[in-house]
């Protein structure tokens, strides 16, 4: 839709300007009368000053007419073809010459087409250096103004009449008057200098715009490369850290196996012992080792999942949060009789804890409120975490899920990890935020069971 509008609006503006340009010769009748009056007066009193006024008026009138024609056809053709394509060049030349021809036929002008072909050739050459960018049409209009003015100066140089420059009635009359009053010296010297000035301005302006665009393009390329490098560096760092943690956690299994073996030997040695406390201690140690083994398996293998009650899961998450020194009020509302969730306890708990930690950090030591609401929604369990913190700026909403993103220059695991964990559990996560008001995270895990409610209110102030 945006691309359609971008192509249509210039075309509609072009049609409007072209319509005005086609009627301009009849609308500028007084302008022509002024030129003729000044021309006649200069001949009567042999005044080169009046002749210059008439010639300036001629350049202004013709320059405005052809500016309208050239610019309107550009807008129309740019809506049909890319401005840097060969098709655009042929369409632009064909459309412009056609409009000039119709104008000449309708108003009985005797303008030559050679200057127009030269103007279009120079214009399209300069156009190759101002590729389509934000201010393309404004840039083209400025270059066109200087180039059209320069070409109108050529129409009044007597020496160029043999090459069909200045073949219309007004230009011929002006050059005849100049020949009669100054013997061609005034127009030849003045308009050659003015042509050179306006043409050089057009060329210099084009080169400056081209160099500026190159700098902008280079800067954007560097920004993209820097962003890609940052993401690659983060991915490598994360991968390396993950591998090291994976290796360390895996190595923990060896001493645990040894401890479990030693516990078994102790149990065998004191099997007939009547010391009940000793047996209880050994049983508890064995259970702790079993739990550690399960945790290690969940850390090492993200697809290792088991069923756990939501209440038990949330208690595990909260137990790992540090809220004693925070002025945070944490409220949990859990629907009763929820079905068990099938998750990798360690990784999913880490994901939920990360969302809570982000909320806590956002308060920056100030008082705040965080609400956890868990309920069954159709065939899903929804974990909703809402805080009344500063919120997330709208321009950052698309960035928060990217690897390494942080508004605090942190190297934490971030929301990319949370999203990855949720998707690994075949779930979805959504975020809504109003700057200065709140942030809400909704996680949906697929289940199929019955509903119910419980309510917890924990105040950590």
pLDDT digits (tens, 9 = 90+) for 16-31: 999 999 999 999 999 9
How far apart are alpha carbons 303 and 305 in whole angstroms? 6
Residue 453 has pLDDT above 70, yes or no: no
Helices (H), ranges, 128-168? 136-155
Q: Are 78 and 10 in contact (CB under 8 A)?
A: yes
Q: Is 438 helix (H, G, I), strand (E, B) or coil?
A: strand
Q: How confident is the model at residue 139 (pLDDT cuts 50, 70, 90)?
A: very high
Q: Is 378 helix (H, G, I), strand (E, B) or coil?
A: coil
Q: What is the 3-state secondary structure (H, E, C) of 86-104?
A: HHHHHHHHHHHHHHHHHHH
Within 8 A by CB and 6+ apart from 419, the residues are: 401, 429
Q: Which of 441, 450, 394 is nearest to 422 (CA)?
A: 441
Residue range 421-441: mean pLDDT, rounded: 88
Q: What is the pLDDT of residue 454?
A: 43
pTM above 0.85, yes or no: no
Q: What is the pLDDT of residue 410?
A: 44
Considering only CA atoms, give the Rg of the chain.
Answer: 40
Q: What is the pLDDT of residue 457?
A: 44
Angle made by CA atoms 113, 118, 119, in degrees to the nearest 5: 95
Q: What is the pLDDT of residue 37?
A: 94
Q: How confident is the model at residue 252 (pLDDT cuts 50, 70, 90)?
A: low
Domain ranges of the chain: 2-227, 237-300, 306-459
User: How many Å from the N-terminal Cα to the C-terminal Cα in the chain?
Assistant: 52
Q: What is the pLDDT of residue 301?
A: 60
Residue range 49-60: mean pLDDT, rounded: 95
Q: What is the pLDDT of residue 452?
A: 42
Residue 106 has pLDDT above 50, yes or no: yes
95 against 263, higher pLDDT: 95
**Percent of the chain residues past pLDDT 70, beyond the cut:** 81
Q: What is the pLDDT of residue 5?
A: 47
Q: Is 455 helix (H, G, I), strand (E, B) or coil?
A: strand
Backbone angles phi, psi at 283, to 5 degrees: -65, -40
Residue range 226-250: mean pLDDT, rounded: 62
Q: What is the pLDDT of residue 458?
A: 42
Q: How confident is the model at residue 247 (pLDDT cuts 50, 70, 90)?
A: low
Q: What is the pLDDT of residue 460?
A: 39
Residue 442 has pLDDT above 60, yes or no: yes
The CA–CA distances, whole Å, from 370 to 120, 310, 325, 355 equal 67, 18, 15, 11
For the chain, the average pLDDT equals: 82
Where are the strands (E) in 395-437, listed by range? 428-434
Within 8 A by CB and 6+ apart from 10, the residues are: 75, 76, 78, 79, 137
Residue 98 has pLDDT above 70, yes or no: yes
Q: Are 166 and 160 in contact (CB under 8 A)?
A: yes
Residue 443 has pLDDT above 70, yes or no: yes
Q: What is the pLDDT of residue 461?
A: 42
- When mean pLDDT is compared across 41-55, 139-153, 384-398, the lowest value belongs to 384-398
Where are the strands (E) in 378-419, listed by range? 380-387
Q: What is the pLDDT of residue 138?
A: 92
Q: Which of 355, 397, 381 is nearest to 450 (CA)?
A: 381
Q: Which of 412, 52, 365 is nearest to 237 (CA)?
A: 412
Where are the strands (E) in 9-63, listed by range? none
Residue 376 has pLDDT above 80, yes or no: yes
Q: Are 289 and 259 in contact (CB under 8 A)?
A: yes
Tokens 């645990």 locate to: 256
Q: What is the pLDDT of residue 6?
A: 60
Q: Which helix (H) or strand (E) holds 23?
A: helix 2-27
Residue 314 has pLDDT above 70, yes or no: yes
The CATH fold of domain 306-459: Heat Shock Protein 90 (3.30.565)
Structure tokens at 184: 């061609």
Q: What is the pLDDT of residue 323?
A: 66
Tokens 């006024």 locate to: 53
Q: How confident is the model at residue 357 (pLDDT cuts 50, 70, 90)?
A: confident
Q: What is the pLDDT of residue 451?
A: 39
Q: What is the pLDDT of residue 86?
A: 87
The CA–CA distances, whole Å, from 336 to 43, 107, 326, 449, 452 equal 105, 88, 29, 12, 3
- When mean pLDDT is compared across 175-184, 211-220, 246-255, 357-366, the lowest value belongs to 246-255
454 DSSP 8-state letter: E
Q: How confident is the model at residue 185 (pLDDT cuts 50, 70, 90)?
A: very high
Q: What is the pLDDT of residue 200?
A: 97
Residue 2 has pLDDT above 50, yes or no: no
Backbone angles phi, psi at 325, to 5 degrees: -95, 10
Backbone angles phi, psi at 438, to 5 degrees: -165, 165
Residue 414 has pLDDT above 90, yes or no: no
Q: Are 313 and 445 in contact (CB under 8 A)?
A: no
- When mean pLDDT is compared across 42-56, 158-172, 220-234, the lowest value belongs to 220-234
How far apart are alpha carbons 231 and 228 in whole angstroms? 5
Q: What is the pLDDT of residue 92?
A: 94
Residue range 102-119: mean pLDDT, rounded: 84
Within 8 A by CB and 6+ apart from 13, the residues are: 75
Q: Are 308 and 346 in contact (CB under 8 A)?
A: no
How far apart are alpha carbons 235 and 239 in whole angstroms? 6
333 DSSP 8-state letter: E
Tokens 């609308």 locate to: 27
Angle made by CA atoms 120, 124, 125, in degrees to the nearest 5: 115
Residue 202 has pLDDT above 90, yes or no: yes
Q: Are 372 and 314 in contact (CB under 8 A)?
A: yes
Residue 7 has pLDDT above 50, yes or no: yes
Q: Are 156 and 187 in contact (CB under 8 A)?
A: yes
Task: Report the interhelical angle of 414-424 vs 345-362 (nearest 10°).
Answer: 150
Query: Strand 368-377 and strand 328-334: pairing?
Result: parallel
Q: How confident is the model at residue 283 (pLDDT cuts 50, 70, 90)?
A: confident
């Amino acid at each position: 839709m945006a691309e359609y509008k971008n192509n249509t609006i210039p075309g509609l503006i072009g049609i409007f300007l072209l319509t005005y340009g086609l009627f301009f010769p009849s609308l500028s009748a007084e302008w022509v009368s002024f030129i003729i009056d000044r021309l006649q007066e200069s001949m009567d009193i042999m005044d080169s000053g009046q002749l210059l006024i008439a010639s300036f008026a001629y350049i202004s009138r013709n320059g405005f007419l052809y500016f309208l024609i050239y610019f309107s056809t550009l807008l129309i053709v740019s809506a049909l073809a890319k401005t840097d394509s060969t098709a655009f060049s042929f369409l632009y030349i064909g459309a412009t010459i056609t409009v000039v021809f119709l104008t000449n036929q309708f108003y009985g002008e005797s303008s030559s087409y050679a200057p127009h072909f030269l103007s279009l050739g120079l214009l399209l050459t300069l156009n190759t250096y101002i590729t389509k960018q934000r201010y393309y049409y404004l840039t083209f209009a400025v270059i066109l103004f200087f180039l059209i003015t320069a070409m109108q100066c050529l129409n009044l140089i007597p020496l160029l009449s043999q090459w069909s420059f200045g073949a219309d009635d007004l230009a011929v009359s002006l050059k005849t008057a100049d020949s009669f009053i100054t013997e061609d010296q005034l127009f030849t010297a003045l308009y050659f200098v003015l042509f050179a000035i306006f043409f050089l301005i057009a060329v210099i302006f084009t080169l400056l715009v081209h160099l500026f665009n190159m700098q902008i393009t280079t800067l954007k390329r560097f920004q993209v490369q820097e962003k890609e490098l940052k993401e690659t560096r983060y991915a490598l760092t994360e991968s390396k850290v993950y591998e090291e943690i994976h290796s360390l956690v895996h190595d923990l299994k060896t001493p645990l196996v040894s401890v479990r073996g030693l516990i078994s030997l102790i149990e065998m040695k004191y099997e007939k012992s009547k010391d009940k406390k000793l047996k209880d201690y050994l049983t508890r140690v064995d259970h702790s080792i079993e739990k550690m083994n399960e945790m290690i398996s969940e850390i090492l293998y993200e697809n290792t999942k088991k069923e756990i009650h939501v209440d038990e899961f949330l208690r595990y998450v909260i137990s790992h949060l540090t809220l004693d020194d925070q002025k945070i009020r944490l409220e949990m509302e859990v629907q009763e009789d929820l079905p068990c969730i099938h998750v990798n306890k360690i990784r999913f708990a880490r994901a939920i804890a990360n969302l809570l930690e982000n909320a806590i950090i956002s308060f920056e030591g100030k008082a705040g409120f965080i609400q956890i609401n868990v309920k069954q929604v159709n065939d899903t369990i929804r974990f909703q975490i809402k805080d009344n913190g500063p919120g997330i700026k709208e321009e950052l909403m698309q960035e928060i899920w990217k690897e390494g993103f942080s508004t605090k220059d942190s190297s934490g695991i971030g929301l990319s990890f949370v999203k990855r964990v949720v998707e690994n559990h075949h779930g979805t996560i959504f975020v809504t935020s109003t700057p200065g008001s709140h942030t809400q995270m909704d996680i949906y895990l697929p289940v199929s069971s019955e509903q119910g409610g419980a309510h917890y209110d924990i105040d950590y102030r």
